[in-house]
A and B are shown apart, each in its own frame.
Chain A
Amino acid sequence: MDPMDLLPYAMGVFFNGICVLSASDIVLRAWRGEGRHRFPDRWDALARLAGTLLYLLIALLMTSWAVFPVAVWYLVSALTAAAAAGVVLRWPELPARAGDRSAATRRVSAVGTLVFLAVAVTALLVLGVFG
């Protein structure tokens, strides 16, 4: 087998793997609710969820689905859905903004990622990529 034939699989594992790690991290933080590995505030939860959605979009566009199992797409989508549900479930009890030094960074990260995601999705819809 030509080693280049493995490239689509390697890329699929890479892009979808990032997605799985990111979504799993959110699910675990939502599950725990307390301790060091939790959402410090709503901006943090939003930033992580927006990032996961962006990774999901990149995985969709960059994976060679002609050879990589499409079942992985459904699994990653389901995991991202669970992450989104986890953020909603934790939302009411999270502070709007924590008082630590990283709070501003998290807010900028959340807003920046959401804006980038919105622009990217709009551009893809205009270009008819999902048509």
Chain B
Amino acid sequence: MGPRTWIVAVACAVAALVVAVGIVVRPHTPALSAEETGDPGLLDRARPLLAGGTHDRVSVVEIDGDRTLSAHFGADGHTGYEIGSVTKTMTGALLADAVERGEVTGDTRLGELVDLDGAPAADVTLAELSSHRSGLPRLPGRLSDVAISVTAANLGLDPYPYDYDTLVAQVAAAELSGRGESGYSNMGTAVLGQALANAAGTDYATLLRDRLLDPLGMGETILPDSREDLPEDATVGYTDRGRLADPWLAHAYAPAGGVRSTPADMERYVRALLEGTAPGTAALEPRWEDGDGGRIGYAWVVEEHGGTEVTWHNGGTGGFSAMVALDREGDRAVLAFGNTTTGLEPLALELLTGEDS
């Protein structure tokens, strides 16, 4: 073989190598699973509402009085989903429950429960934290924290690798801006959950288990602190960049978005909220303006949609989406969960209210 032939062979090999690497690292964009189970009518109503978005596994639960319908695409009632910020409603319930127990009040100052050494955040109240009116920023603002957030957001990594001491340092370093006005804060709900755990003399995971999950029989709901805490067949989420998302373990930020649950467990939770039997149901009550035309309780947002008063909270992690919407007056609710970042809010609101949102 002559020199030119060798060069051509090497060129072909290099080109083949580049193509092979391109195929190996290619983006993964799932399609809605064709494996459907559940109520045929709800499947038929949900399917068109899922068209146009990127979906893989999706579960929809519709509660209407005593009746529950479910529709699952590539899933079932026991499929685990990260519920993201829907976790905040559980932290809100823990606050309402702690108030009922007399452990704290809505006006209890954060500095009474968390050692903030006189930092501005020490003066904010638990109610302000739960209703996003504390003035704390959405995310920690220290340069190293911002770098972690940006890297995690772009690479599909867990954005909250922080322990309790780091969270407290972040809150202590935070400046308050617009206190009393609506300003969504993951950091605020995270430190609220930790403060409630301190008030009860335990950790947040135990508090949630003892006061909410166990009483409601939510045995499939977990608060993973490490990958070892995840089940072997844990559902994997997809980022909007076409990559498999890291699970959100949340650690100290767990009160703001660390729960993994199943449609069956979340049905128990929401049904108990509708019936008023869930611990801390008072969290649902709207108490303040949310600055966006609606009102807010302990995490729950209350808005009018097509003539229906909807009490709702959504959730999103690096690879999952969730939406829980309640029509308390009509004793109805729609829950939706998926393992992509495509929002499920329009689906849930349309199924609940019959109005295109």
Asked whether, in the complex, the Cβ of B11 is within 8 Å of the Cβ of A85, the reply is yes
Which residues of B232-277 are within 8 A (CB) of A?
238-244, 246
Known pairs A61-B241, A70-B242, A85-B11; A124 contacts B155 (CB<8 A): yes
Map CB proximity to A onto B330-357 as digits: 1 under 8 Å, 0 otherwise.
Answer: 0000000000111000000000000000
Q: Give the shortest distance, in Å, between B154 (CB) and chain A (any CB).
A: 6
Q: A81 to chain B: which residues have CB within 8 Å?
A: 14-16, 18-19, 22
| Binding-face segment, A35-43, A71-79, A98-106 | A71-79
Q: A62 to chain B: which residues have CB within 8 Å?
A: 154, 241
The tally of CB-CB contacts under 8 A between chains A and B is 89
Contact of A65 among B3, B10, B16, B29 (CB under 8 A): B29
Known pairs A78-B19, A91-B7, A92-B7; A85 contacts B342 (CB<8 A): no
Q: Chain A: which residue is nearest B27 at the CB level?
A: A65
Q: B10 to chain A: which residues have CB within 8 Å?
A: 88
Map CB proximity to A onto B24-37 as digits: 1 under 8 Å, 0 otherwise.
Answer: 11111100000000
Q: Give the shortest distance, in Å, between B147 (CB) and chain A (any CB).
A: 13
Q: Give the shortest distance, in Å, between B211 (CB) and chain A (any CB).
A: 35
Contact of A66 among B19, B26, B341 (CB under 8 A): B341
CA distance in complex: A52, B292 (Å): 45
Q: Give the shortest distance, in Å, between B88 (CB) and chain A (any CB).
A: 24
Q: Is the CB of A3 closer than 8 A to any CB of chain B? A: no
Q: Give the shortest distance, in Å, between B3 (CB) and chain A (any CB).
A: 7
Q: B54 to chain A: which residues have CB within 8 Å?
A: 66-67
Which residues of B1-15 are within 8 A (CB) of A?
3, 7-8, 10-12, 14-15
Asked whether, in the complex, the Cβ of A73 is within 8 Å of the Cβ of B14, the reply is no
CA distance in complex: A89, B157 (Å): 40
Contact of A128 among B17, B23, B242, B246 (CB under 8 A): B246
CA distance in complex: A65, B26 (Å): 10
Q: B18 to chain A: which residues have CB within 8 Å?
A: 77, 80-81, 84
Q: Is the CB of B156 closer than 8 A to any CB of chain A? A: yes
Q: Is the CB of A114 closer than 8 A to any CB of chain B? A: no
Q: B154 to chain A: which residues have CB within 8 Å?
A: 61-62
Known pairs A65-B241, A66-B238; A88 contacts B14 (CB<8 A): yes
Asked whether, in the complex, the Cβ of A77 is within 8 Å of the Cβ of B3, the reply is no
Q: Is the CB of A60 closer than 8 A to any CB of chain B? A: yes
CA distance in complex: A73, B239 (Å): 16
Q: B7 to chain A: which residues have CB within 8 Å?
A: 88-89, 91-92
Q: A8 to chain B: which residues have CB within 8 Å?
A: 240
16 extra A-B contacts, CB within 8 A, seeds A82-B15, A84-B18: A63-B242, A64-B241, A65-B241, A66-B29, A70-B26, A73-B26, A73-B27, A77-B23, A85-B11, A88-B14, A89-B7, A92-B7, A127-B157, A129-B155, A130-B25, A130-B243
Q: Residues of B at under 8 Å CB distance from A?
A: 3, 7-8, 10-12, 14-19, 22-29, 54, 154-157, 238-244, 246, 340-342
- 19 A-B contacts, Cβ less than 8 Å apart? A8-B240, A62-B241, A63-B241, A64-B241, A65-B29, A65-B240, A66-B238, A66-B342, A74-B22, A77-B18, A78-B22, A81-B18, A81-B19, A84-B11, A84-B15, A88-B11, A89-B7, A129-B156, A131-B244
